[in-house]
Amino acid sequence: MGIMADKQQKPSELDQVKHDLDKKTKEAEDYLSHLKRLQADFENYIKRSDKERKDVIAFASEKLIAKLLTVLDEFEQALKAMKDSPKEDLMAGIELLYKNFKKTLEDEGLEKIPATNVPADPYLHEVILREATDKVQDGIILEEIQPGYKLKDKVIRYAKVKVAKAN
């Protein structure tokens, strides 16, 4: 009877192992399927994020261009008026255009970098000339050659400057 019982147990153990293997195989397939869906979702997220970033950049440019169109219109009007205007009126018109253009840029976050009578800062200034002098300390900016600008705290053009050099 003992041998017969062993033979009957072995098929049921084998069935149990097959059942467990099938269960684990199904579980592994479920995990793999879930992983593939997650990977596809992530790839779609990357594509969507890239498109959104490009759209934001395009919209920001569009907004700035729309503001600059007003300045362009003012320049066109000034050019038409130049033909018949006295010199003083022309100068006043150009000054007004300059102020309006500057204000438009400042409203967008543009800021001029201070560049006279301050120490040269390599994060803000590009030293292109040095002049020997005893009038100010070494490294102080004597003259701004070309203005520099920051846009929302990021330097977009370094100020080109002439700096004092100790004798």
DSSP 117: S
Between 131 and 74, where is the model more confident? 131
Q: How far apart are CA 26 and CA 44, in angstroms?
A: 27
Rounded Cα–Cα distance for residues 13 and 6 (Å) = 10
List beta partners, residue 155: 150
Output the pLDDT for position 1: 47
Given a cut of 80, whether residue 149 has pLDDT beyond it is: yes
Determine the Cα–Cα distance for residues 145 and 129; give it in Å rounded to an integer: 9
Lookup result for tokens 């102020």: 99
- The DSSP bridge pattern shows strands 141-146 and 125-132 to be unpaired
The per-residue pLDDT for 8 is 53
For the domain made up of 110-167, give the CATH fold. Nucleotide Exchange Factor Grpe; Chain A, domain 2 (2.30.22)
| Plot region of 116 (φ>0 → left; ψ -120 to 50 → alpha; else → beta) | beta
Q: In the prediction, which pLDDT does 80 show?
A: 79
pTM above 0.85, yes or no: no
The closest of 85, 17, 104 to 9, measured between CA atoms, is 17
pLDDT band at 97 (very low <50, low <70, confident <90, very high): confident
The topology under which CATH files domain 1-108 is Hemagglutinin Ectodomain; Chain B (3.90.20)
What residue segments make up the domains of the chain, in order of their start? Answer: 1-108, 110-167
Nearest to 161 by CA among 133, 132, 105, 121: 121
pLDDT score of 58: 78
Q: Are the folds of 1-108 and 110-167 the same?
A: no
Q: What is the DSSP string of 18-43?
A: HHHHHHHHHHHHHHHHHHHHHHHHHH
